[in-house]
């Protein structure tokens, strides 16, 4: 048994460019997913508090379904059902195609959590303010956009941070959708060099370099934009 | 009387408020209010909360320029009456007309209607994430489509008028209750409403702040604003109201002039109620 291999950090150095590239993929995946999940989650939250029963029901159904389905299933559905069976092609370049499938699957999943966080934020806004907004003639959507949501967002910056960190870590699951990001590369390197502690530590550190500042940033923003009542 | 700038002579104001002079005693000078025509009309209005019949066959006419004080025991339906006039509460039966038009159902139409009916709440309900100035200009800019510079200018005039122009850049949480309520009045006035509804505007205030808010309301009444005011402030009712409505158990039990109502109520319910609030 060659114990040296277990403590050999050289693969990390040798493959540094590849590793950077893989983490760059993770970052691109996270950013796009973050934006889409935020937009979709906001729309869902709006639906769930809307006066229209059909919209409320649709929002509730979506959230309950996606929140209770394992992410792996969602992504497999995207890659197998959407891509292979239905032949949905977003690009002729297969890595681009897989990128978007992964983004869609991950956004669809994360949006359910964003929606629920936002909804709890909406509950922190006194009902009276929404009534006052309607009383000056704002429509439901206007009062949601201009009065309720801005305050709801500020109230849930910290939980949105947790969701973001979870989402960044969840990007590792997209390897089931065949998109090469950090976790997929780690798996490849395990196969090539053997599953060693240094490789694992290198990748784990890579994720912490991404997630820790994210956590601090959200924590700072939560304080910075707290609404005084 | 404070400056009358914001009510009069602003572009787009479609209601001609008739100005009245106050008599020496400060009381609005007529029992048959200026202008005359009916502005808010309720016909056989009924409203239920489950089994609770909160509004029972309510008939009420408020004329242009008239100030009506609504008074009565807790749970009598005063807030519900107020809220139903701008459809924050939908009614189950009957008709509510504002300026001759029936209340539209939900949607854009309703939003437009609400813009014409100002509302002031017991708990102020200022938008906590916006400055006082932004609170006042939001409606004019987004609903009336007034240019921002114009809206700012008019808002500052209104804030001047309610005596808090120097607080314009502050956030609601930085203001006293009395200042917040005056800001809320300015916010409602900025829409140039045809009628103003006040639901116990002073009952969440510390006693020393009640007067500053009532003074603003009194001068507003003096300028001919049509007002429906739920309040137990007898001084205000006597000074500014044309009519007192006594509401209990979902019904209008008595409709009277303020002087008559407080000195010589016609109904036993009103007598009983007054004896309770007058003893403390
Ligand atoms: N949203 C609601 N759902 C169910 N019941 C309600 C609701 N709002 C008010 N009520 C009930 O309707 C009745 C009338 O309430 P309302 O608030 O209009 O009375 P009020 O005269 O304004 O009383 P107060 O002086 O305490 O403000 C009360 O019995 C109240 O409990
Ligand atoms: Mg009430």
pLDDT, tens digit, 9 for 90 and up, residues B32-78: 445 578 999 999 999 999 999 999 999 999 999 999 999 999 999 99
**Mutating which of B138, B141, B145, B184 best tests the A interface, going by the most A Cβ atoms within 10 A?**
B138
Question: Minimal Cα–Cα distance from B261 to chain A, Å?
Answer: 31
pLDDT category, A129, cuts 50, 70, 90?
A: very high
Report pLDDT digits (tens) over B112-165.
889 999 999 999 999 999 999 999 999 999 999 999 999 999 999 999 999 999
The CA distance from A42 to A119, in Å, is 9
C-alpha of residue A216 to centroid of ligand 1, in Å = 46
Could you tell me how far CA B177 lies from the centroid of its own chain?
Answer: 18
Q: Which residues contact A85 (CB under 8 A, 6 or more apart)?
A: none
Max Cα separation, chain A?
78
Q: Which residue of B has its CA nearest to A150?
A: B129
Task: Specify whether the backbone of A76 is left (phi greater than 0), alpha (psi in -120 to 50) or beta.
Answer: alpha
Q: Top-level CATH class of A24-181?
A: mainly alpha
Exposure on the CB side of residue A61, measured as CA atoms within 13 A: 6
Span B183-223, pLDDT tens digits: 999 999 999 999 999 999 999 999 889 999 999 999 999 99
Task: For chain A, say whether B112 makes contact (Cβ under 8 Å).
Answer: yes
User: CA–CA separation, B47 vs B58, rounded Å?
Assistant: 9
pLDDT at position A89, please? 73
Q: Provide φ and ψ at B31, rounded to 5°.
A: -95, -25
- Please tell me the distance in Å from A62's CA to the nearest CA on chain B: 26
Query: How does residue A112 score in pLDDT terms, banded at 50, 70 and 90?
Result: very high
pLDDT at B19 over 70: no
- Any CB–CB contact under 8 A between A53 and chain B? no
Which residue(s) pair with B70 in the sheet?
B230, B245
ipTM over 0.95: no
Confidence of residue A78 (pLDDT cuts 50, 70, 90): confident
Which pLDDT value is given to residue A50?
93
| Model pLDDT, residue A166 | 95
Q: How many CA atoms lie within 13 A of A4 on its CB side?
A: 2
Burial (CB count within 10 angstroms: exposed 0-12, middle 13-18, buried 19+), residue A211: middle
pLDDT in tens, A180-194: 788 889 988 888 888
Asked whether residue B279 carries a pLDDT value surpassing 70, the answer given is no
B258 with B40: CB under 8 angstroms? no
List, as one string, the DSSP characters of chain A. --HHHHT--HHHHHTHHHHHHHHHHHHHHHHHHHHHHHHHHHHHHHHHTSS-HHHHHHHHHHHHHHHTS-HHHHHHIIIIIIIIIS---S-SSHHHHHHHHHHHHHHHHHHHHHHHHHHHHHHHS-HHHHHHHHHTT--HHHHIIIIIHHHHHHHTHHHHHHHHHHHHHHGGGGGGGT---HHHHHHHHHHHH-S-HHHHHHHHHHHHHHHHHHHHHHHHHHHHTPPP-
Average predicted confidence (pLDDT) for chain B: 87
Residue B20 has pLDDT above 70, yes or no: no
- Asked if the C-beta of B117 comes within 8 angstroms of chain A's C-beta atoms, the answer is yes
pLDDT score of A157 more than 70: yes
Q: Residue A81: what pLDDT?
A: 76
Q: Do A131 and B121 touch (CB under 8 A)?
A: yes
Asked if A128's CB is within 8 angstroms of B111's CB, the reply is no
How does pLDDT run across B243-273, given as a tens digit for each residue?
Answer: 999 999 999 999 999 999 999 999 999 999 9
- pTM equals 0.86
- What is the H or E stretch that residue B96 is in? strand B93-98
pLDDT given for residue A82 in this prediction: 75
Q: How far is the CA of B73 from the centre of ligand 1 (A)?
A: 11
Point out the residue among A126, A134, A146 whose CB comes nearest to the CB of B88. Answer: A134
User: Which of B47, B80, B89, B121 should be mutated for ligand 1, with most atoms under 8 A from CB?
Assistant: B80
| Beta carbons of A135 and B126 less than 8 Å apart | no
B106 CB within 8 Å of a chain A CB: yes
Interchain contact, A228 vs B174, CB within 8 Å: yes
Strands of the B67-71 sheet, one edge to the other = B117-120, B195-199, B226-230, B67-71, B243-248, B251-256
pLDDT of res. A84: 72
Give the pLDDT mean for B3-28.
38
How many angstroms is it from B205 CA to the middle of ligand 2? 15
Interface test with B, best of A122, A125, A135 (most B CBs within 10 A): A135
Q: How far apart are CA B70 and CA B233, in angstroms?
A: 10
Which residue pairs, CB below 8 angstroms and at least 24 apart, start in A66-69?
A66/A108, A66/A109, A66/A111, A66/A112, A67/A112, A67/A113, A67/A116, A69/A109
Decide if pLDDT at A132 tops 90. Answer: yes
- CA–CA gap between residue A51 and residue B23 (Å, rounded): 49
Taking an 8 Å cut-off on Cβ atoms, the answer to whether A146 and B142 are in contact is yes
Pairwise CB contact (< 8 Å): B173 & A139? no
Contacts of A203 (CB under 8 A, 6+ apart): A19, A182, A183, A185, A186
């Amino acid at each position: 048994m060659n114990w040296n291999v277990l403590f050999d950090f050289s693969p990390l150095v040798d493959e540094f460019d590849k590793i950077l590239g893989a983490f760059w993929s993770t970052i691109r995946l996270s950013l796009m997913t973050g934006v889409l999940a935020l937009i979709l989650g906001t729309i869902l939250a709006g639906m769930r508090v809307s006066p229209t029963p059909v919209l409320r029901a649709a929002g509730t159904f979506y959230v309950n379904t996606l929140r209770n389905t394992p992410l792996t299933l969602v992504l497999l559905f995207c890659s197998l059902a959407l891509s292979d069976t239905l032949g949905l092609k977003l690009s002729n370049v297969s890595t681009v195609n897989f990128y978007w499938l992964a983004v869609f699957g991950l956004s669809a999943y994360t949006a359910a959590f964003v929606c629920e966080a936002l909804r709890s934020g909406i509950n922190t806004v006194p009902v009276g303010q929404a009534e006052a907004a309607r009383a000056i003639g704002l429509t439901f959507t206007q009062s949601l956009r201009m009065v309720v949501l801005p305050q709801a967002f500020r109230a849930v910056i910290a939980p949105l941070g947790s969701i973001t960190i979870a989402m960044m870590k969840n990007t590792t699951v997209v390897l089931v959708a065949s998109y090469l990001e950090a976790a997929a590369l780690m798996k490849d390197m395990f196969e090539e060099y053997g599953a060693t502690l240094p490789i694992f530590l290198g990748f784990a550190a890579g994720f912490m370099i991404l997630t820790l500042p994210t956590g601090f940033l959200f924590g700072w923003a939560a304080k910075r934009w707290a609404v005084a009542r | 009387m404070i400056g009358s700038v914001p009510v009069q002579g602003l572009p787009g104001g479609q209601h001609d408020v008739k100005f009245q002079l106050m008599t020496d005693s400060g009381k609005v000078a007529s029992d048959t209010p200026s202008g005359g025509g009916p502005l808010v009309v309720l016909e056989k209005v009924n409203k239920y909360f489950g089994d609770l019949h909160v509004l029972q066959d309510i008939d009420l006419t408020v004329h242009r320029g008239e100030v009506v004080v609504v008074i009565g025991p807790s749970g009598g339906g005063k807030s519900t009456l107020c809220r139903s006039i701008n459809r924050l509460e939908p009614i189950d039966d009957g008709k509510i007309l504002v300026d001759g038009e029936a209340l539209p159902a939900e949607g854009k139409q309703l939003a437009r209607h609400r813009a014409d009916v100002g509302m002031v709440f017991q708990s102020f309900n200022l938008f906590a994430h916006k400055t006082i100035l932004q609170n006042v200009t939001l409606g004019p800019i987004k609903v009336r489509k007034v240019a921002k510079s114009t809206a700012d200018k008019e808002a500052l005039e209104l804030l001047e008028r309610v005596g808090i122009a120097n607080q314009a850049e502050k956030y609601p949480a930085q203001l006293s209750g009395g200042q917040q309520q005056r800001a809320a009045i300015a916010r409602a006035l900025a829409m140039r409403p045809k009628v103003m509804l006040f639901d116990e505007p002073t009952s969440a205030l510390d006693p020393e702040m009640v007067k500053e808010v009532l003074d603003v309301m009194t001068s507003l009444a003096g300028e001919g604003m049509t007002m429906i005011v739920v309040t137990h402030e007898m001084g205000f009712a006597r000074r500014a109201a044309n009519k007192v409505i006594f509401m209990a158990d979902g019904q209008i039990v008595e409709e009277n002039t303020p002087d008559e109502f407080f000195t010589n109520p016609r109904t036993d319910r009103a007598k009983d109620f007054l004896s309770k609030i007058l003893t403390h």
